[in-house]
Amino acid sequence: MTETGYTRPNWSADRIAHGYQDGRDWGTIVEKLRVPGAPFWALRGNGGLQTTLADMARWEKVARTNVVLTDSSRRKWMTGYVNEGPMGMSKYAYGWAVHMSPRNTRVVEHNGGNGVYVAEWRRLVDEGITILVTSSVSNLTASAVVDNVESLVFGGEVRLPPAVATVDAKALAAFAGSWKSPTGDGVDVERDGNRLLLRATGPLTWRLMTQGDTATTPRATELGARALSIVQAMTRGEAQPLHDALAEPEPLDEMTQQVRNLAADRVQRLGALKAVTLLGAIARQQGMLVTTVRLDYERGVVSNVFQWGPGGRILRRVARPLAAAMLVPTSATAFERVDLSGGPPDPAVKLERVDATHVALVAPNGTRVVLAKAS
């Protein structure tokens, strides 16, 4: 492995992949490592090494033998010891995440990245297959591809992105803005280059965009109402409802301070709070359910996302900007969703022009919601 290290391999500049972020050349890791004092402490021993696909293949080959590690050490190396995900579906080993595949075989994997470069190393050890995917574009990462590669290896099918049409700026701009249904639900549409970013403003459109229909369940309704009540309390600086709902709560005084700091930070950055809206709840594997609450401020939109376990307790919570659905043009009057998140794929909904003042949000099963341009 003569081409692995921080700076010592002295790679030729024309062999180093540049990173790209928001359409701009971010440069290379090697350039960043030439800053005086680099590599930084955060990268010493814990990451930041540069390598090539050929060297990675050499390391993978050696990792299957006892040349570097004995059989006993390799077993310990790839044995999960600590629960990593909800309900212990994934366990952390010595530098690996270990879990079972859909075929009930062992998966030993790890990934890493800096928001621009991302690498996925997935070892299907019982099946003798290794998948290594790397990427250098921030909005199309290896994490969004690796599951599809595995599916193709075992004869599965994947949803390919649609062919993208060229649309003039005027036609794109005509889609931007707020669109409402007769019930008040709708979407906020933002133009981003040659694509559109959609954010649901209510539960009807959120369910259509997230699950492909507008149906709900009693459990989703119940946990959604609890999530809304918890977030409303959090905006007032009250942590007790959140504390009571967590599967593993922290001390109440510490949580209260966290909640108040979050509320104050949002107001400082985004202005006064205008509205708190339950978008909905979607079922996931192993009896889990994910709720999303939207918070509108004067200068921005954020969300609180809770992952609920089968017992009705919150296993994981995230406070973040409200995620947008990305749609690309398939014609001058229609856009289709492309999901590059790397998580469970969302439905390939479409946004279609109906007339000068109306559009339709259309799910893959044909469910259709007509929206009017808000004044």
Residue 34: per-residue pLDDT: 73
Q: Which CATH class is domain 13-153?
A: alpha beta
Q: Report whether pLDDT(85) > 70.
A: no
DSSP assignment of 124-178 equals ETTTTEEEEEEE-BTTB-GGGTHHHHHHHHTT----PPPPPPP--HHHHHHH-EE
Give the Cα separation of 162 and 348 in Å (integer).
10
12 confidence band (pLDDT: 50, 70, 90): confident
Please provide the average confidence, as pLDDT, over all residues in the chain. Answer: 90
What are the residue ranges spanned by the domains of the chain? 13-153, 161-375
Q: Which residues contact 217 (CB under 8 A, 6 or more apart)?
A: 283
* Helix-helix angle 252-270:218-235, to 10 degrees: 80
- Whether 360 and 369 have beta carbons less than 8 Å apart is answered as yes
CA 131-318-349 angle, 5° bins: 65
Prediction pTM value: 0.78
φ, ψ of residue 118 in degrees (nearest 5): -140, 140
CA atoms of 325 and 313, how far apart (whole Å): 28
pLDDT above 90 as % of the chain: 68
pLDDT at 184 over 80: yes
pLDDT(344) > 90:
no
The tens digit of pLDDT for each residue in 269-310 reads 999 999 999 999 999 877 899 999 999 999 999 999 999 999
The helices-and-strands tally (H runs, E runs) of the chain is: 9, 20
pLDDT for residue 271: 97
Chain centre distance of CA 316: 14
pLDDT mean over 44-59? 81
Percent of the chain with pLDDT over 70: 95
* H or E element at residue 2: none
Which is nearest to 30 in space by CA: 18, 47, 43, 42? 18
Give the per-residue pLDDT at 81: 93
What's the pLDDT tens digit per position in 200-255?
999 999 999 999 999 999 999 999 999 999 999 999 999 999 999 999 999 999 99
Distance CA 330, CA 352 (A): 10
